[in-house]
């Protein structure tokens, strides 16, 4: 497990994995006034999240691998 897998980045990736999120919702929910906490930027730079058509943010295969490595993949609905 890489040392740079920050718990806040992991939380953000898990949150996005639970359902469709707009870019505006992600930025509003995860913004911080601390310039050292670059959670959104870190998740994108590491390839865990991507912004797609219609400004929807989605988890990437790397993001799913991250969640799997930490036992945090969301459970399927109804299961």
Token pair for 23: 């870019």
Residue 4: its pLDDT value, please?
Answer: 58
- pLDDT score of 12 more than 90: yes
User: What integer best gives the mean pLDDT of the chain?
Assistant: 86
Residue 37: its pLDDT value, please?
Answer: 76
- pLDDT score of 48 more than 50: yes
- What residue segments make up the domains of the chain, in order of their start? 7-69
- pLDDT score of 50 more than 80: yes
- CB hemisphere CA count around 73 (13 angstroms): 11
Q: How are strands ordered across the β-sheet holding 49-51?
A: 21-22, 56-59, 49-51
Query: What percent of the chain has a predicted confidence (pLDDT) above 70?
Result: 87
Residue 2's pLDDT band, with cuts at 50, 70 and 90, is: very low
Give domain 7-69's CATH number out of 1.10.10.10, 3.20.20.70, 3.40.47.10, 1.10.3720.10. 1.10.10.10
């Amino acid at each position: 497990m890489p040392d740079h897998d920050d718990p806040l980045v992991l939380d953000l990736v898990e949150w996005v994995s639970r359902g469709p999120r707009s870019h505006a919702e992600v930025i509003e929910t995860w913004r911080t006034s601390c310039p050292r906490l670059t959670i959104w930027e870190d998740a994108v730079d590491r390839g865990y999240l991507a912004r797609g058509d219609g400004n929807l943010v989605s988890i990437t295969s790397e993001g799913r691998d991250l969640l799997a490595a930490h036992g945090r993949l969301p459970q399927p609905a109804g299961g």
